[in-house]
């Protein structure tokens, strides 16, 4: 009870402080704005006082750049938009493990650090360059600036039907889609171009020798083909016995890896906004008023609906392989242009071991969602028409345009259901918050979660217990440790027996998932466990280790009498009869640093086997080699090597490879340089970015 009273007194003290600070805004009958306050008070002082921090809006300082709340929110929203565009239908899945605040902080930091480095070097961008940059946006922006403004082609979208620029439409599109003025947009483009020039200066320092290029070419084009047999570690699990003394010895030797972090156990009540939807009433007049106030949000850019057939190529494919793939695509194109051609049927007809052919219905998409060559080709087509071959980094495409929608604005009638759902959801958050506040007062006054249930029998509340969990873990009966991070943070600050303040949980886009009040039932400090606490995991780990050791030892015994000139078939006859062994043949493969060799029926992953494949003679048998899932014995059945003449003649491929290696080296140089520049920049965060702003 005293904790509750103290929290309320603290709140009243802040009210008094805010009223006092508010008085600063009226001096001599004249209202003084936040910019004045920010200009006369040091940043450190401003942000040390919550009232002033909120007034000044400063939440971070990166070198000499202050990040205000508006900039932070804008970059965070754009970060989410960029990720949605990148992951498309997989975004919901991946977003569960993304920390958008950390991504936003890194984006803001990188941008500010690079701009300040550009200032030090005096990097200049002319007005002509800025105007051209506006026309080419977002395709000319470096990735460091991709979250500054929503990445869509504003200039192109604002053109009239005859292709002429329209300044009024440009301003309208910027404000509705980018939520930014033309002046601020031009400034962001200018800064992005300055960063791009800074990157060019860094890139110029990457030097690549002919020897490096030829060495890489040889590694990518020398090919080996092997036959192999696998002795899976798992097949030896039943041959392994573990004594109590072995288990204890293994546990004591590896106890550090089983260390248990600090853990807490809570009981909680959840107030779910969805349970209040039936109490929400939204009138048609409210829907119409919302539509009028937010009409810019219902602008729909030009869209096309298409499907395509892709003959896939690898990015590092040779010129010869690309030419073969393109010729194959030309062959498919002849069928694709026949009346009523079925792209799915063409995929089945043409997909084979040599050429990977895929068809896909892409649905509707706007500009900026596809790679540039594909986008240009798709938007240039008329409904019902089929493109010629379009080359992208993915391979060769044949595009069929099925429909085209001109840019338009949704009518009130079309948008009404969407608005109704949005307003109902938002109103349910308000009702849920009101109920949650009342529940919090009841719980705090009575110092009991049960009191809230007794006082609100119509709400269907219940008390649930999570069991012990550590920071970063999934919270049992609640959800992801990332999404519900605020619950974890609060719980680990509390003392056993204390009841939390009301915790609001939001998803990206400020969607409220629920309100939680919980009691800390128990806390366990970080500790080294007893064997009984982790016996199952330790037993599994030891059994896996012993199975691997037995498999390797048995394979070594089998291979002891085998000569390099023997055959894999003869070796297979020596393998244990109780293990199903199949001789598998790999696809031709180049050397790779992950040790992964793709087989026609199964694959192997062993760096030892990979390295040996390029050192042994054709026909030679070698092994055993420890791999990820088993022990392998291999026989080299073919190897193709490229000679100096072949390397020298393939100038186009060498040039492409040089570009690829150059980009890799440029990235390494840039990363090293950036980390040094970042380390030399004073970065301060003044308030918790997980707090509601």
What are the residue ranges of helices labelled H in 496-650? 535-559, 568-574, 607-613, 644-649
Confidence of residue 471 (pLDDT cuts 50, 70, 90): confident
Q: What is the pLDDT of residues 202-247, one digit of tens each?
A: 888 888 888 888 888 888 888 999 999 999 998 888 888 999 999 9
- Give the pair of three-digit tokens for residue 535: 């016996």
What's the rounded Cα separation, in Å, for the pair 600 and 320? Answer: 24
Angle at 562 (CA atoms; ends 558, 563), nearest 5 degrees = 160
Of the chain, the percentage scoring pLDDT greater than 90 comes to 43
Q: Tokens in use for 629? A: 């899932």
Q: pLDDT per residue over 155-209, tens digit each? A: 888 877 677 778 888 888 888 888 889 999 999 999 999 999 999 898 888 888 8
Q: Is the peptide bond before 624 cis (omega within 30 degrees of 0)?
A: yes
The band of 93, judged by pLDDT with boundaries at 50, 70 and 90, is: confident
Contact 311, 325 (CB under 8 A): yes
| pTM passes above 0.75 | no
Q: Per-residue pLDDT tens for 138-152?
A: 888 888 888 898 888
When the pLDDT of each residue in the chain is averaged and rounded to a whole number, the result is: 85
Q: pLDDT by residue (tens digit) across 636-679?
A: 999 988 888 888 887 777 888 888 888 888 889 989 999 999 99
pLDDT at residue number 687: 54
pLDDT at 686: 64
Which long-range contacts does 174-182 make (Cβ < 8 Å, 24+ apart)?
175/296, 176/296, 176/297, 176/299, 177/150, 177/152, 177/299, 177/301, 178/149, 178/150, 178/152, 178/154, 179/74, 179/150, 180/74, 180/149
Phi/psi region, residue 629 (left: phi>0; alpha: psi -120 to 50; beta: rest), is alpha
Of the candidates 524, 487, 458, the one whose C-alpha atom is nearest the C-alpha of residue 267 is: 487
pLDDT at residue number 83:
86
Asked if residue 332 has pLDDT above 90, the reply is yes
So what's the pLDDT on residue 25? 41
Closest CA to 191 of 263, 97, 96, 110: 110
- Out of 24-33, 182-191, 463-472, 540-549, pick the least confident: 24-33
Tokens matching residue 335:
């069928």
Beta bridge partners of 622: 634
Please tell me the predicted confidence (pLDDT) of residue 419: 92
Query: Do residues 401 and 384 lie in contact, with contact meaning Cβ atoms separated by under 8 Å?
Result: yes
Query: 558-589, pLDDT tens digit by residue?
Result: 999 988 888 999 998 888 888 888 899 999 99
Using 50, 70 and 90 to split pLDDT, how confident is the model at 56? low
Task: Give, as one character, the DSSP assignment of residue 258.
Answer: G
Residues paired with residue 475 on neighbouring β-strands, in sequence order: 479
- The CA-atom distances, in angstroms, between 574 and each of 557, 565, 621 are 10, 16, 14
State whether residue 92 is helix, strand or coil: helix
- Phi and psi dihedrals of 680, rounded to 5? -90, 5
Lowest mean pLDDT among 251-255, 343-347, 392-396, 683-687: 683-687
Other Cβ atoms less than 10 A from the Cβ of 28: the count is: 5
Residue 480's CB is within 10 A of a number of other CB atoms, namely 12
The span from the CA of 510 to the CA of 413, in Å, is: 26
Predicted confidence band at 622 (pLDDT cuts at 50, 70, 90)? Answer: very high
**Distance (Å, whole) CA 2 – CA 10:** 12
> Coil, strand, or helix at residue 306?
strand
Least confident of 9-13, 357-361, 389-393: 9-13
Q: Can you tell me the mean pLDDT for 380-403?
A: 93
């Amino acid at each position: 009870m005293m904790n509750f009273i103290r929290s309320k007194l603290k709140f009243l003290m802040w009210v008094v402080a805010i009223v006092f600070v508010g008085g600063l805004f009226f001096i001599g009958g004249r209202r003084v704005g936040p910019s004045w306050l920010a200009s006369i008070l040091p940043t450190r002082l401003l942000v040390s006082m919550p009232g002033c921090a909120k007034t000044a809006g400063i939440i971070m300082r990166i070198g000499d750049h202050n990040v205000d709340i508006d900039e932070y929110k804008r970059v965070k929203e754009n970060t989410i938009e960029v990720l949605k565009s990148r992951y498309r239908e997989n975004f919901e899945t991946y977003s569960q493990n993304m920390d958008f605040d950390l991504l936003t902080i890194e984006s803001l930091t990188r941008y500010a650090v690079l701009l300040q480095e550009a200032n030090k070097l005096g990097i200049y961008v002319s007005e002509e360059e800025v105007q051209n940059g506006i026309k080419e946006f977002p395709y000319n922006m470096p990735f460091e600036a991709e979250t500054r403004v929503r990445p869509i082609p504003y200039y192109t979208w604002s053109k009239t039907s005859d292709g002429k620029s329209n300044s009024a439409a440009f301003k309208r599109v910027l404000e509705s889609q980018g939520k930014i003025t033309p002046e601020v947009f031009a400034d962001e483009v200018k800064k992005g171009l300055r960063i791009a020039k800074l990157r060019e200066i860094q890139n110029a320092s990457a030097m690549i020798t002919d020897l490096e290029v030829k060495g890489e070419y040889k590694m990518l084009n020398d090919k080996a083909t092997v036959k192999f047999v696998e002795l899976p570690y798992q097949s030896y699990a039943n041959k392994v016995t573990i004594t109590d003394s072995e288990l204890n010895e293994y546990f004591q030797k590896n106890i550090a890896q089983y260390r248990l972090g600090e853990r807490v156990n809570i009981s909680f009540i959840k107030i779910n906004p969805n349970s209040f939807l039936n109490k929400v009433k939204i009138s048609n007049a409210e829907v119409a008023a919302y539509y009028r106030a937010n009409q810019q949000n219902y602008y729909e850019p030009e869209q096309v609906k298409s499907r395509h057939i892709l003959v896939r190529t690898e990015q590092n494919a040779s010129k010869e392989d690309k030419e073969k793939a393109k010729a194959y695509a030309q062959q498919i194109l002849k069928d694709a242009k026949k009346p009523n051609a079925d792209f799915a049927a063409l995929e089945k007809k043409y997909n084979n071991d040599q050429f990977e052919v895929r068809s896909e219905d892409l649905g509707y998409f706007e500009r900026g969602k596809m790679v540039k060559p594909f986008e240009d080709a798709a938007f240039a087509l008329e409904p019902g028409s089929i493109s010629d071959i379009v080359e992208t980094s993915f391979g060769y495409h044949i595009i069929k345009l099925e429909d085209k929608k001109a840019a338009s604005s949704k009518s009130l009638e079309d948008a009404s259901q969407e608005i109704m759902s949005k307003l109902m959801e938002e109103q349910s958050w308000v009702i849920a918050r009101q109920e949650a506040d009342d529940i919090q007062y009841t719980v705090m006054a009575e110092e009991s979660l049960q009191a809230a249930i007794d006082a609100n029998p119509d709400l269907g509340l219940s008390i649930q217990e999570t069991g012990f969990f550590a920071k970063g873990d999934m919270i049992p009966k609640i959800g992801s440790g990332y999404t519900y991070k605020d619950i974890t943070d609060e719980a680990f600050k509390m003392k056993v027996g204390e009841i939390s303040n009301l915790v609001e949980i939001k998803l990206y886009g400020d969607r409220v998932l629920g309100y939680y009040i919980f009691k800390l039932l128990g806390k366990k400090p970080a500790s080294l466990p007893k064997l009984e606490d982790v016996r199952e995991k330790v037993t599994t780990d030891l059994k896996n280790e012993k199975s691997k050791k037995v498999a390797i030892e048995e394979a070594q015994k089998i291979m002891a009498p085998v000569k390099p000139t023997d055959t894999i078939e003869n070796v297979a006859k020596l393998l244990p009869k109780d293990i199903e062994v199949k001789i598998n043949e790999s696809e031709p493969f180049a050397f790779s640093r992950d040790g992964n060799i793709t087989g026609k029926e199964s694959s192997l992953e062993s760096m030892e086997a990979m390295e040996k494949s390029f050192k042994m003679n054709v026909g030679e048998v070698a092994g055993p080699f420890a791999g990820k899932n088993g022990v392998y014995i291999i026989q080299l059945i073919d190897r193709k090597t490229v000679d100096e003449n072949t390397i020298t003649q393939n100038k186009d491929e060498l040039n492409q490879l040089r570009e690829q290696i150059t980009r890799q080296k440029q990235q390494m140089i840039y990363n090293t340089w950036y980390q040094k520049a970042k380390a030399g920049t004073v970065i301060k965060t003044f308030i918790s970015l997980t707090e509601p702003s």
